[in-house]
Amino acid sequence: MGEVVEEKKEPDSKRVHTYPLIRHSDMNDEMKTEAMELCVTACEKFSSNNETAARMIKETMDKKFGASWHAIVGEGYGFEITHEVKNLLYMFFGGNMAIMIWKCS
Amino acid sequence: MPAKAIGKGKQAGGASDISRRRTTRMRGDGDDMTDMGDGTDADDWMHSKALVKPEDQLDLNEQQLKEEFTRILTANNPHAPQNIVRYSFKERQYKQISSVDQLAIHFALDGNMLHKDSDEARRQMAKLGMPDAVQSEQAGSEGGEGAGAGAAEADDAKDEGKDEGRDDAATPTPAAAAGGKKLTNQFNYSERASQTYNNPYRERGTATEPPPRATFSGSVTQWEIFDAYNEDFEKQVNKQQIIMLFVYLSEYVFLCGFQSDDVTRIANASQIVERMVNQNTYDDIAQDFKYWDDPSDEYRENEGTLLPLWRFTFEKAKKLAVTSLCWNPKYKDLYAVSFGSYDFMKQGNGMILFYSLKNPSYPEFIYETDSGLMCLDVHPDHPYLVVVGYYDGSVGVFNIECKEPVHRCTAKNGKHTDPVWQVRWQKDDLENNHNFYSISSDGRIVQWTIIKNELIYQDVIQLTLPEAPAEGPDGTKVSTVGCGTAFDFHKRNDYMFLVGTEEGKIHTCSKAYSSQFLDTNLAHNMAVYQVRWNPWHPDIYITCSADWTVKIWEVSQKTTVDTNPENTQNVSNRKALFTFDLNNSVGDVAWAPYSSTVFAAVTADGKVFVYDLNINKYEPLCEQMVAVKKKTKLTHIEFNPVYPIIIVGDDRGNVTSLKLSPNLKKMPKEKKGQPAMDPAQREQLEIAKLDKLLNMVREPTEGSKPPAATEKK
């Protein structure tokens, strides 16, 4: 359904994409999908409050994959983080939101 | 014994008297004498033993105690039996024995005391020396006094016998036993203590490896997000387009091929895809094949290398040996391999595989046979015709189109009785029938002609040995046959061919004379494995053998057939122009197609040798291990007629292709500005090149017409 709309608008370069786009990740596929879905849920649920979204992501990830997850949700920031390998996900969502989650205990 | 008891009792009794006296003295008042257990603080240690009374002891008063009982002690044992009867042999009857043994020992103790004045004691004292003697004297005096006291009081034994029983039990103190004169030192004791061993402490620790970490950095901006989305979207669109294309293509294929059956309709397409995949997989090798030339060759004059390119293996052929290789005359990248086994004990099936350099991963064509194949040849004019020789002695002709041989000889029509070692297509005969030759170790060389779907055979030559026929089991003569192992036909003189035998001889034969050889040459000491004419020079051929050598020969000058039987039967033993010892059985040797002086050989220890006589007449330019595993034997080698590569087969079913480095493929330099040499000119040049070399090694008399005598050694 969404595709049809997109194809009609194709010449329009200002069109906004909102699908989740994984920019960088070294997680295994299973974990990646789960984390991505979690991020999408959190951002949709707390679309107005990034902090609660980040909190939800962090707490859920802690529960599911063990302690010390960190999450950043925001529209503009810079970062330099140290993470445990296979535990990093950097994705865009909603066209203007960047979500960064990683584990480092 | 009773005396002993009395003595003891006396001693104890005396002691108790003394102690009693002392007690009395110290206390200063005459207490109840019998109450010895009631001691004061000072005497506490002496009376540590409580007076134990048997429970059933009669309670007697003074009067009763004073009463005297007289007991007479006799030496008779009351328990000794009085009525022992023994049989008396003298009187032949049982008789009571009057004398009964009255001795009963209740207690025995061996003493170790000596009287100090006795001889024995003196001797011991002298032996032990003075200080010991003093000590022992003291001890002796102690003991002596004790004994003395005992002896002295023994007299009073009867008087004091009354008190004995009571005092004896009441005063068993050691001080009393020592006679009261000498008190033992209460503090003379040694304390012994021990401490348990303290186990040494040991520390052991391990540190777990921290989970691997990595850093990641970046920044988020709105435009970055936007760009990322756009990029990703484009990718998705592209992918979709490709998928659409595939769907379209597959539909197209389906539509086009709906009439033919399932496999063949996509055969062509899949073949193309397979080659594309292979081209991708082996891209580096393909690049090497096309462009790579060992640059270090420029700095080495007389050495070269072989660069391994593709390795061709096929699962089903892994246990078979490569028995021959043949390039396809039309498609320069295609070659045929026959598989069989050289092991007499391990014969099985055989196989022909066609490989293309364009697809090294899987054979283009596969033909399986029931018997091992020993050789094959692809028809030079009709590349679809392949003749093979079987281990069971038959020959067969395959058409590439068919899985089964189109012709195969049987025992009825001329089948060999031994493995066929080589087959070779010949020019079509005058009636344009295809024909080929085969050689086998049964000694026959047979010409086969395909006439109207039939295989007609004709024996060309029967190899015989000059020796007298051997005696058969029942007296019949069995003529010994020579065992042919290899042959090669002359490039220009159509009728002439060479035959190598298991005995090591090389026969020069003519198709026209079936009864005799033009020439026989005792070339090797062991079986000849391969014989090949030089592609350029008409008189030169090369042979290789199991005797570790490769030899280069020149055909004797007498080209006309000598009808004199002596001459033909006589085995000439000429000297080879060149002999190379390769230190192992040489499986195959081949001339390079591009130069008259280059040849390559393979040995059973897995090495390939490449020689260029023009550069080095004695040493190989290249000696390289090609086999992957240690024990793999290389069996055959073939030069590609066009590309500078060789293919080498081994006894594990592998075929390896190798690229020759520039030093190994030196050709005469073409002068700049001049047009390329025409073939005739080139040939002249090559022949001249080889001749120049040969002149150096030819026997000096050979310049003019060589007499037969010089030729024979």
Instruction: State whether residue B619 sits within 8 Å of chain A by CB.
Output: no
**B212·A85 Cβ contact <8 A:** yes
CA distance B391 to B408: 13
Number of domains in chain B: 1
| Residue of higher predicted confidence among B227 and B183 | B227
The dihedral sign for the CA sequence B178, B181, B187, B191: negative
| Cβ-defined contact of A75 to B229 (cutoff 8 Å) | no
List the CATH number of the domain containing B331: 2.130.10.10
B581 touches B661 (CB < 8 A): no
Q: Quick one: pLDDT at residue B623?
A: 87
Question: Is A80 in contact with B233 (Cβ distance < 8 A)?
Answer: no
**Does residue A9 form part of some domain?**
no
What is the percentage of chain B residues whose pLDDT exceeds 70?
75
Of B89-98, B216-225, B483-492, B703-712, which gets the smallest average pLDDT?
B703-712
Arithmetic mean of pLDDT over chain B: 76
Q: Is B213 on the interface with A (CB under 8 A)?
A: yes
Query: What's the length of chain B?
Result: 713
CB contact under 8 A, B215 and A102: no
Percent of chain B scored above 90 by pLDDT?
A: 4
Q: Is residue B458 part of a domain?
A: yes
Over 50: is that where the pLDDT of B203 sits? Answer: yes
Predicted pLDDT at A57: 93
Weakly modelled stretches of chain A, pLDDT under 50 = 1-11
Does residue B166 carry a pLDDT above 70? no
pLDDT at B708 over 50: no
Q: What does the alpha-carbon distance between residue B492 and residue B507 come to, in Å, rounded to a whole number?
A: 18
Task: Give B259 or B547, the one with higher predicted confidence.
Answer: B547
User: Looking at beta carbons, which residues of chain A come within 8 Å of B214?
Assistant: 26, 82-83, 85, 88
Chain B residues near residue A95 by CB distance under 8 angstroms: 225-226, 229
CB contact under 8 A, A95 and B225: yes
CA separation (Å) from B75 to B72, B102, B108, B187?
10, 7, 17, 47
- H/E stretch holding A35: helix A29-45
Q: Say how far apart CA A40 and CA A93 lie, in whole Å.
A: 7
| Mean pLDDT (whole number) for B449-453 | 85
Distance from CA of B223 to the nearest CA of A (A): 9
Cβ-nearest to A76 among B220, B226, B232: B220
In this predicted structure, what is the pLDDT of residue B404?
84
CB-nearest to A21 from B215, B217, B232 is B232
Cβ–Cβ gap B219/A79 under 8 Å: yes
Q: Cβ–Cβ of A84/B211 closer than 8 Å?
A: yes
> What is the per-residue pLDDT for B43?
53
Assign B261 a pLDDT band (cuts: 50, 70, 90): low
Please check whether residue B256 is in contact with residue B265, taking contact to mean a CB–CB distance below 8 angstroms. Answer: yes
Q: Give the residue from chain B lying closest to A103, CA to CA.
A: B213
pLDDT, position B672: 53
pTM beyond 0.90, yes or no: no
Interchain CB distance below 8 Å, B216 and A85: no
Of B213, B218, B220, the CB nearest to A83: B213
Per the model's pLDDT, the better-predicted residue between B543 and B294 turns out to be B543
For the stretch B583-607, pLDDT in tens is 888 889 999 888 888 899 998 888 8
Contacts of A81 in chain B (CB under 8 A): 215-217
Distance from CA of A63 to the nearest CA of B (A): 19
> Which pLDDT value is given to residue B626?
83
A40: domain CATH number?
3.30.740.10
Q: Is residue A12 part of a domain?
A: no
The answer to whether residues B530 and B588 touch, using CB atoms and an 8 Å cutoff, is: yes
What is the reported pLDDT for B675?
Answer: 58
pLDDT exceeds cutoff 60 at B15:
no
Which residue range forms the structural domain that includes residue B344? Answer: 282-471+479-556+570-667+678-695
Q: What is the pLDDT of residue B433?
A: 85
In a domain, B128, yes or no: no
Q: What's residue A6's pLDDT?
A: 44
ipTM of predicted complex: 0.83
pLDDT at A51: 92
The answer to the question of residue A52 being in a domain is yes
Domain count within chain A: 1
pLDDT band at B111 (very low <50, low <70, confident <90, very high): confident
Domain annotation covers residue B426: yes
- The CA distance from B212 to the nearest CA of chain A, in Å, is 6
Instruction: Please give the pLDDT value at position A36.
Output: 92
Give the CA dihedral B46, B52, B57, B58, nearest 10 degrees.
Answer: 40
Q: Quick one: pLDDT at residue B255?
A: 61
**Long-range contacts made by residues B299-303, C-beta under 8 angstroms, separation at least 24?**
B300/B663, B301/B615, B301/B663, B302/B615, B302/B616, B302/B619, B302/B621, B302/B663, B303/B621, B303/B622, B303/B663
Residue B19 has pLDDT above 50, yes or no: no
The arithmetic mean of pLDDT across residues B193-200, rounded, is: 87
pLDDT value of position B256: 59
Does residue B395 lie within any of the structural domains? yes
- The stretch B246-256 carries a mean pLDDT of 67
Gyration radius (Cα) of chain A, Å: 15
Supply the range of the domain harboring residue A73: 21-104
Question: CB-based contact (8 Å) between A26 and chain B?
Answer: yes
Contacts with B228 from chain A: Cβ below 8 Å: 21, 23, 92
Mean pLDDT over B35-63 rounds to 66
- Looking at residue B265, its pLDDT comes to 63
Q: How far is A95 from chain B (nearest CA, A)?
A: 7
pLDDT at A80: 93
Which of B212, B216, B225 lies at the smallest CB-CB distance from A98?
A: B225
Q: Per the domain annotation, does B303 fall within a domain?
A: yes
Output the pLDDT for position A62: 93
B243 touches chain A (CB under 8 A): no
Report yes or no on A4 lying in a domain.
no
Cβ-defined contact of A84 to B221 (cutoff 8 Å): no
- A20 part of contact set with chain B, CB < 8 Å: no
Q: Do the domain assignments include residue A15?
A: no
**Residue of B222, B223, B229, B244 to mutate, interface with A, max A Cβ within 10 Å:** B229
In our burial notation (b when 16+ CB lie closer than 10 A, e otherwise), range B341-370 reads bbeeeeeebbbbbbbbbbbbeebbbebebe
- Which of B208, B215, B216, B226 to substitute to test the interface with A, most A CBs within 10 Å? B216
- CA A36/CA A18 separation, integer angstroms: 14
AA identity, residue B647: I
Say which range, A81-95, B22-36, B358-372, B670-684, has the weakest mean pLDDT. Answer: B22-36
Does residue A81 belong to the interface with chain B, where contact is any CB pair within 8 Å? yes
Residues of A in contact with B225 (CB under 8 A): 92, 95-98
